[in-house]
Structure 1
Amino acid sequence: MTHLLPRHKKLLSFLTRHHPILKTLLQNPPPISHYATQSSKFPEYEMPTVTWGVIQGKKEKLVNRVKVCDHLQTLGVITDELETIELPSTLEVISERLEFLHKLGLTIDDVNEYPLMLGCSVRKNLIPVLAYLEKIGISRSKLGEFVKNYPQVLHASVVVELAPVVKFLRGLDVEKQDLGYVLMKYPELLGFKLEGTMSTSVAYLVSIGVSPRDIGPMVTQYPYLLGMRVGTMIKPLVDYLISIGLPKKIVARMLEKRAYVIGYSLEETVKPNVECLISFGVRREMLPLVIAQYPQILGLPVKAKMSTQQYFFSLKLKVDPEGFARVVEKMPQVVSLKQNVIMKPVEFLLGRGFRVEDVARMVVRCPQILCSRVELMKNGYYFYKTEMGRPMKELVEYPEYFTYGLESRIKPRYQKLQGKGIRSSLNWFLNCSDQRFEERLEGNFIDVDSEGPVFEMGGKLDMPGGVGGEVVSDEDDDESDDDEVLYRRTLTL
């Protein structure tokens, strides 16, 4: 090493002779601590940050942010929640965003409801998201309303978050033309995770017997079911309905047609309504039939409606509380019928000479006459009096006569009876299918008058008189026309 020192000294002498600045630095080196504490000659600058295309210093950014916030405050925007988000660096950009939101239909009050939307870029966030929403069926005129209801959508990624949810809905058989309606009704769906509540609620409904092909229509009717937890909301309701006598299959059919029943609160609405029905005289064994016919009764203010209607039936129709309970069992929709609608057929019957007591008996036996159109009742009554010539007592005993169509059932069957020279009760020739009626005419089938269909706990709707009961078929519906109101205590599901 010692033999290198002369050469090192020569090199150092050469450098200092030709580079005076280097000589000064070598002779007066700066303190090491000076470089350890200062990273730059300009301490107000850190690593350059690109914000909205402009390289700004820290102080300049703070100044511009204050200007932007002051500008927003002068417009009425509450800026307290904007401290954690990055705002535009210029007034021009923030003004552009506000103008865009204003054209969309949002006001300053709407912005204050969710001020974080001001952190969304017009070109990177707003335009792509809104264009996608319009593409899937939300009309441009309703985009503002959609954003008001669910402003978080403006932060979403079309590819990563929105498109997978739409694909999931289409996979449930939600029609393409219904997507806009579903999302307008429940926009929060776009924020759900596919593997979460949506999948579990669908899986549970299928497990209790809901047809997979009916899930789509159910979601279209009541999209909120996709956001309901199975363990705390859906399953307890289903279990309760089964516990009061409704077969699981009937519950499944009921939910398929009226999915909104899932949204009824079990503890606050359903249980109190069931207990209320019992307190008004509805028999426990008839509860399944009542609920199956009119599921909406589980979500109505039943106590108020029952009290009002019971008083009305007692005052105007002379139907006692026990009779009113039988009316509710046979046609629970009566709790929601308007009183002026009820009085029209009642006044028609009273005007034809029926006594008040007889009308009360007729209503208790067949409350469906309260929904009959007076014009059709007139036609049926005049045919009964002029062509059939039967006593009014038979109508009191079988008021269901007024629920059948004159041209489609009463007249043709009566004419066939006349041709055969057969005289029978109204019930015998009206309360049966066309096939059974022909069998009766030929004498191939003889049975006594029946009371009408009976709801069995197994989920069937049996017509008494056959071996094991005859299920009312869909073919029976084909013979009715628009003007006919068939008397069937069926499950209208």
Structure 2
Amino acid sequence: MFLSCQKHTLYYHSSYSIHSSKNPKLIIINCQNPNEQQQHHQKNHPIPRTQNSKSTSFLIHHLSQKNNNNNNTNPSPTELQDPTPHEEKIKLLELSLVRKRTPQFPGSIYAQSSSDPDVGSSLPPLRTIFQSGDEEEEKMIMQAIEIRRKVTQEVFKGAMQKGKFGITYSTNLVDRLGGFIDYVMIEAANLKRLPEYSNSTFNLRAKTVIEDSQVVPLIRWLKHNSLSYPEIAKLILMSRGKLESIRNRVEWLKSVLVKGDFIGDAMLKSGDNFLQRSDAELDEIVKYLMSNGVRRDWMGYVLSRCPKLLSYNLEEVKTRVQFYLDMGLDEKDFGTMVFDFPKALGHYSLEEMHRKVDYLKEFGLESKDVGKLLAFRPELMACSIEERWQPLVKYLYYYGITRDGMKRMLIIKPMVFCVDLEMTIVPKVKFFQDLGVTNDGIANMLVKFPPLLTYSLYKKIRPVVIFLMTKAGVTEESIAKVVALGPQLLGCHIVHKLEVNVKYYLSLGIRLRQLGEMVADFPMLLRYNTDVLRPKYTYLRRTMVRTLQDLIEFPRFFSYSLEGRIIPRHKVLVENQINVKLKCMLACTDEEFDKMVKNIIRKRNKIQSSVMKANTTHPQSLIAGDITTTP
């Protein structure tokens, strides 16, 4: 039923059509009383619907802002409160920045014309949405930049997929190209200043920048040259936008014989200035190294193992080369050293190199000796003084090894000073202690045979000890003596050396227990080749007519030279009709042997002369005596 009055007005609020129920209500308001109309409007304000609450709040706020601007009145703080949630603001910002049409749906308040590709044309002005302080504005600017960055990444991925790269490969690579993405984004923004791109979309400008840079064909070419996508990403970032320098440096590395598998690693480790250097500078370094003994066909290997050489200028390289030449290395030794361990030349600082050389001289080595040592084992330059050498020296000194002993170890086997103390040396020493070797015996072993410390404990030393105790007849009580006297035995191959010798000795008629006693007396018995043993044994049995027991009692017989000692001394004994034990015959110097022979001859002559004198003085008494003693 309608209310009657002088003048009625039919009022239908637009917001009610959005928030009301399915049958919007018509409200008749007496316009003669505006206050009554406002009270009636507030009283009958319907409850907003849930699904359109955000769009309705935005529309109400937009209309209220428009009315406030027309009335030129200052709104209250409650009226300025933005009803749009923060998430909705971000979505609106994305729609404003992304130049791509979004799907439409019935009832959408952001109408979009199919002929207008600009999404922003149908959106409300952003200044009506983001009305806040400087902090909020700065935050929104950063979010806008991040959105543009994501748009640029998508454009880059699209260009790579157009270049027939897989989705996974494109995503993995683009995720590592943050700096280059920013470069493309900035260049695309700069293109808008040009007249021909003033009305173009951001997507088009970003795509133009990517195509002009030829980055996608470059990525294809680098991948063809065996570079992984992390290496490609780092190189693109190192180029600082000058992508053509990457191709130039790759071609140069290939010209000096750097293989494809090492090109990426060489470029990444050669310093940030490598891409900016000219071919002439790099060629001068190569020529100088070649003039000092580094062969041309070695250059690719050297530069791939030590690409840091390419970060130095020519004067720096000359200083480093002269550092080794001053220690007495010639061109051949220097070139070989650089080939064996290229990092010795270019990886370490000059100050560190001088400190290590000075430390090695403290063992009593001269400068030329250190040079020979580094030429033979340049890996010493990779060892730290504080972490590797000083703990090793203290450990060896604890077992009684003097500085001269360490010097001998360093000269004979410099690799000992390169191995890890806790992981390599300590377990071996503890193993020898468990066998029963004393500390003095361990010190003598290490000084006598330093390579022992470089052998594998579980693959070399323990298997040999087990073989000696099970197959060579060495008892548990004698194994410590065998190891201490013959540490070189622990370096022999079981199958090719020890088993062959054991079978040969057993074939001579020596029993296993006797062989164990022989090895305990002379451990080096098992190290000789059977080709050397056979002639000596044949001469012993056939020419010298000695028994096998003589050999068992003196196993060191096999250690003497057949032509140099055994045959000459045997001839002397035969000529003088002398027969002595093998030990007396061989285990002495030539002077002692001659003196022994003369003493035996003098004693024999003395006895013979006394007998002859007795025979001439009392011949009858001797005969009578003989007769009387006969029964």
Common fold, TM-score beyond 0.5?
yes
Q: Is the 8 A contact 1:73 1:79 kept in 2?
A: yes
- The within-5 A match list for 1:383-462 is 383-443=539-599
The change in CA–CA distance for 1:96 and 1:199 in structure 2 (over 3 A counts) is closer
Unaligned runs of 5+ in 1: 1-57, 445-493
Q: CA deviation at 1:83?
A: 5.8
Matched, 1:124 2:277: no
Q: Aligned residue for 2:460?
A: 305
Note if contact 1:183-1:189 (Cα within 8 Å) is conserved in structure 2.
Answer: yes
CA distance in 2, matches of 1:79, 1:222: 35
Q: Which residue of 2 aligns with 1:376?
A: 532
Are the structure 2 counterparts of residues 151 and 417 from structure 1 closer, same or farther at C-alpha, using a change threshold of 3 Å?
same
* Alignment partner, residue 249 of structure 1: 404
Partner of 2:264: 112
CA distance in 2, matches of 1:66, 1:178: 51
**2:216 aligned residue:** 70
In the other structure, the counterpart of 1:348 is 504
After superposition, the C-alpha distances for 1:369-409 in whole angstroms (9 at most, x for unaligned) are 21222232222112212232222222111100011111110
Deviation at 1:262, TM superposition (A): 0.8
Q: What amino acid sits opposite 1:220 in the alignment?
A: A
The correspondence of residues 251-270 of structure 1 with structure 2, limited to 5 A, is 251-270=406-425
Asked if structure 2 preserves the Cα contact closer than 8 Å seen for 1:210 and 1:256, the reply is no
Q: CA deviation at 1:138?
A: 1.8
Q: Distance in 2 between matches of 1:301 and 1:141?
A: 34
Aligned to 1:279: 434
Alignment CA distance shift 1:89-1:201 (3 Å): closer
**Alignment correspondent of 2:299:** 143
Q: CA distance change for structure 1 residues 66 and 285 in 2, over 3 Å: closer, same or farther?
A: farther
- Mark the CA change 1:133 to 1:373 in structure 2 (over 3 Å): closer, same or farther: same
In structure 2, the CA distance between the partners of 1:80 and 1:368, relative to structure 1 (3 Å rule), is same
Q: What's the offset of the Cα at 1:243?
A: 1.7
Cα RMSD of the aligned pairs, angstroms, is 2.8
Q: Which amino acid aligns with 1:74?
A: R
Kindly indicate whether residue 249 of structure 2 is the aligned counterpart of residue 97 of structure 1.
Answer: yes
Cα deviations by residue, 1:192-247 (Å, 9 ceiling, x for unpaired): 56652222222222222234332121101111223433233212212221221222
> Within 2, Cα distance between the matches of 1:279 and 1:332?
15
180-189 or 427-436, which deviates more: 427-436
Distance 1:290 1:94 in 2: 56
Percentage identity across paired residues of the two chains: 24
> Does the alignment pair 1:328 with 2:474?
no
Q: Per the alignment, in what secondary structure is the counterpart of residue 579 of structure 2?
A: coil
Q: 1:198 to 1:107 in 2, by over 3 A?
A: closer
User: How far apart, in 2, do the equivalents of 1:430 and 1:80 lie?
Assistant: 75
Return the TM-score normalized by structure 2: 0.56
**Structure-1 residue corresponding to 2:393:** 238
1:337 corresponds to: 492
> Is the CA contact 1:79–1:115 (under 8 Å) kept in the aligned structure 2?
no
TM-score by length of 1: 0.71
Other structure's SS at 2:478 match: helix
Cα deviation for residue 315 of structure 1 reads 2.9
- Residue 174 of structure 1 and its aligned partner are, at CA, apart by 2.1
Q: Is contact 1:198-1:227 (8 Å) kept?
A: no
SS in 2 for 1:138: coil
Q: Does 1:316 align with 2:468?
A: no
1:35-94, CA deviations, whole angstroms, 9 ceiling, x for partnerless residues?
xxxxxxxxxxxxxxxxxxxxxxx979x959971543322222544324664568574x65
> The residue matched to 1:245 in structure 2 has which SS?
coil
Q: Per-residue CA shift, 1:67-123, capped at 9, x if unaligned?
A: 1543322222544324664568574x6544333323333455433324445605452
| Cα separation, partners in 2 of 1:440 and 1:231, compared to 1, 3 Å | farther
Classify the secondary structure of the residue corresponding to 1:401.
helix
Determine the C-alpha separation between the residues in 2 that align with 1:326 and 1:429. Answer: 26
Larger radius of gyration: 2
Q: Quick one: structure 1 residues 199 and 381, their matched pair in 2 at CA, closer, same or farther if it must change by over 3 Å?
A: same
Q: Does 2:336 match 1:190? A: no
SS in 1 for 2:477: helix
Per-residue CA distance 1:424-460 (angstroms, 9 max, x = gap): 322222122323333333449xxxxxxxxxxxxxxxx
* Amino acid of the structure 2 residue aligned with 1:163: K
Does the aligned pair in 2 maintain the 1:349–1:359 contact within 8 Å?
yes
Q: Distance in 2 between matches of 1:427 and 1:347?
A: 25
Q: Secondary structure at the match of 1:214?
A: helix
In 2 relative to 1, CA 64–124 (structure 1 residues): closer, same or farther, beyond 3 Å? farther
Q: Does 1:81 align with 2:234?
A: yes
AA in 1 matched with 2:542: T
User: Structure 1 residues 412-421 or 179-188, which shifts more?
Assistant: 412-421
* C-alpha contact 1:65 1:87 (8 A) present in aligned 2: no
Structure-2 change in CA distance of 1:432 and 1:113 (3 Å): same
| Higher RCO structure (Cα 8 Å, ≥6 apart) | 1
The 1:68–1:157 alpha-carbon spacing in structure 2 relative to 1, beyond 3 Å, is farther
After the TM superposition, which of the residue ranges 163-172 and 322-331 deviates more from structure 2?
A: 322-331
Say whether the 8 Å CA contact 2:486–2:524 is kept in structure 1.
yes
Match of 1:133 among 285, 289, 314: 289
Query: Given that residues 320 and 350 in structure 2 are in contact (C-alpha distance below 8 angstroms), is that contact kept between their aligned partners in structure 1?
Result: no
Equivalent residue for 2:379? 224
Q: Which amino acid aligns with 1:67?
A: S
Deviation at 1:414, TM superposition (A): 1.9
Moved more, 312-321 or 396-405: 312-321
Structure 2 alignment gaps of length 5 or more: 1-189, 195-207, 601-631
**Cα distance, 1:274–1:131 mapped onto 2, change above 3 Å:** same
Mapped contact 2:412–2:450 kept (Cα < 8 A): no
Q: Which residue of 2 aligns with 1:171?
A: 326
The CA distance in 2 between the partners of 1:347 and 1:176, in whole Å, is 49
Which range moved further: 220-229 or 434-443?
A: 434-443
1:287 positional shift: 0.8
2 CA distance for matches of 1:190 and 1:346? 48
Count of matched residue pairs: 384
Give the match for residue 443 of structure 2: 288
Contact 1:125 1:154 in 2 (8 A): no
The alpha carbon displacement at 1:167 in A equals 0.8
- Greater shift in the superposed pair: 112-121 or 348-357: 112-121
- Matches of 1:306 and 1:214, distance apart in 2: 31
The 2-side partners of 1:339 and 1:433 are apart by 34
